[in-house]
Structure formats: structure tokens, C-alpha cells
Amino acid sequence: SAQAVGAQHTSDEAVALCLVRHPRGAMTKILLMLALALGAAGLRWPAAVPQRRATSGRAAGARLERAVGPVAVAPVEAPSVGRSSESAVDAMRGAAEAPSPFKKLMAANRAEIAVRIMRAATELNVATVAIYGYEDRFSQHRWGADQSFQLEKKDPADAAVRAYLDIEQIVALAKREGVDAIHPGYGFLSESPEFAQACSDAGITFVGPTVANLKTFSDKTTARVAAIAADVPVVPGTDEPVTTEAGARAFVEEYGLPVIIKAAMGGGGKGMRLVRDMEELGASFASASTEAEAAFGDGSVFLERYIESPRHIEVQIIGDGKGGAVHLCERDCSVQRRYQKVVEIAPAWSLDPALRNKLHEDSLRLMRSAKYLNAGTVEFLVDGEGRHYFIEVNPRIQ
């Protein structure tokens, strides 16, 4: 139960209870609020936000308004965010009571995550905009928004996902329609520093980490460098993306087999191949690169030594962009199929308390050193001897 989970952790971590009770909508809402509540010190919140009744296709929002009625909101000063865990948590609690400074939010994604984003925006009285490819014209996320617009593929022969990777078209559409914030969700452009920069250049708030954060953590090889600099243990691997089979063979010859090939950009199990035999290396390298290119628009990969039968533990972090960060405890994501997480258990079961503390401390040290903004996940592997290794940061919602 939420009460049982709360009893196991300190008061600074009590905010995690909202994720236990309402794990989907609450997490997205926190992201929406953090973009300005934690990212702009001294921001003055608007004195009032006009209440909007849900429009066609947003029955859930209408039912909520009928049930609780319009909510009066007093003027609120943006919370002052310090470096301590207490101040960061207080900032989040204060943000939960403040009106949203956004007038119109675009969900630059599709399907389930886009529905979650728009549901959270509706709860905050923010108008919503959906985008969709032709193949998704009957998808639920389109009908759950106040406005929806079809994206055009540059080449009709392209895969359906290519439309969602068109930064220029998405930003131009947002600017034309008066969107003042874009939430990227996960996948697609969520970890793209180019997309975040394009939003900034257009005067649109990117609801996510800073451009500098994304440049560090969206590329798994630069994330490794940051982890090493922060004295966080890593799995032996390539320090730069590998673009040729010859480069992959050179790594294997130095470190041996087995190795795992991973997409340098993006995550979610895409572009991952386990190699146990040198004869498999060429085909595995090519297929991993092709899959990464299709999923993230970048075929770069890197290699790591493969750890047999590890536990996969990840720590949820929220940062204020100034060197302050808190963790919302950890999850055990070891139950996977084809590198896709099937079950996540929070908190991680049967984890040695000393190891749990090390995972939390290493995650905070890394994210504080990067002055991380918004929500992110620091992922580790734990071997059979209880040694933990950093593998990546997901600089986005999960």
C-alpha cells in the first residue's frame, strides 16, 4: 500500500507516494509543473487562470469539473529552490498548488504517452494540441485534444514514425497555432537536443531537461564520460559511438566476448544485440544500427561488456537545474523480454540496504554534477556479487 511504502522512506521522499497512488497522470503533471516551477527562479505566477470547460472528446475532464466545480486559485510566488533535498521537495509541493503558466501545450508524440500528457494538461486547465501521422488518424490521442493536426511525411514511402521525427514541421506547426509549451513524451524526439534547441529558438518551452543535459545524456557514450567524471562505476565499454564493424571488432579483441551492442541515442531496448560469437558480430552490428536509425533517426551504436544475469535497478531523479536534486526511490526492472521491461517493482525487492544507499547516492551525485533539470532516470546493472554499474540516464519521462 502507499502507506506501507511511505513508512519505509524518509519524509523528503514522501512525495513519491503520489506516484504509487496515481503513477501515470501524477508523473506527467510533475513534469509539466517543473519546467517553470523549478527552472525559473523568481518567476511570478499569474494571478488567475480562466477555468475552461472540457470540449468534445474530453469527457473525463468534463466529469471531473462537474464533480468538483471550478477551483479558485490565489496568486502564488514561484518557490525558491535551493540545493537541499528538502527545498526541492517543497518546491514540487508548492508547484502542485500553483496555476499553470502555460496556455496551450502540444504533445509531440502519439498513443498512450500523448493521452497521459493531455490528461494532465486538462487537469491544469491548459489547452492541448495533438499531432498525428496519416496512419494514426483514428488513434485515441487525436480525439482527446482540443486541436489536432496531421503531419506530412517528406517521402510518402517513409515509415509511419518518420513524421514524428520532423523537427522543423513540428515546431513550425506549434508556432503557427500559438503553442507555448511542447511535451515530447518518450521515444521519438524526447532526447533530442536539436529539438529542445529548436523549441527554445522559437520561444516555446520544452518540457524536459536543458539542451546541455540532453547533449550529455541522450548520447550513451557521453553519459558514460559524465558518470566516470562523477566517480560512478561503469561497465567497460566504448567511449565514443562506433560507426563501423571494424571499430566493433577492435573492441571485442581488446575486451573479449560476450558483448552487447546498444543504440547510442534513445533507449527502450531498440538497437540492442547480444553477441557471444565473433561470427555473429557483423550481422548483429548491422541490424542494431539499422534499428537505431529507424527508431531514433541516428544509427550510431556503442559496445559494452555483457554482464550475465544482472539485476536491472533504476533510480528516479528530479532536479532543479541548479545542482539540487532529489531521488524518488528505485525500481527493479529485471523482468524483461527482448530488453523491454515487462514488470517494474518499486521499491526494489530484496536489495541490500547498503547497496540501495549507494545507488541513490551515485544517482544524485551524477545528476547534481550535471545540474540536471526536470525528471530523469539513472539506470544500473547489479551483478551476482552485488557490484553495481551505471549504464545510462533516460533524460525524459518513463
- CA distances (Å), 254 to each of 134, 307, 366, in order? 48, 16, 28
Residue 302 and residue 300: Cα distance in Å, rounded? 7
Q: In the structure grid, which three cell numbers stand for residue 19, read together?
A: 506516484
Q: Beta strand 340-345 with 325-337: parallel, antiparallel or unpaired?
A: antiparallel
In terms of Cα–Cα distance, which of 74, 24, 46, 363 is closest to 226?
363
Q: Is 85 exposed, middle or buried (0-12, 13-18, 19+ CB in 10 A)?
A: middle
- Measured in degrees and rounded to the nearest 5, phi and psi for residue 391 equal -120, -40
- The H-or-E segment that residue 287 falls in is helix 281-296
Residue 66 known to be catalytic: no
Residue of 119, 273, 331, 396 marked active site:
396
Beta carbons within 10 angstroms of residue 337's beta carbon? 8
Q: What is the four-CA torsion angle of 27, 29, 32, 38, rounded to 10 degrees?
A: -80
In terms of Cα–Cα distance, which of 382, 249, 252 is closest to 304?
252
Catalytic residues: 396
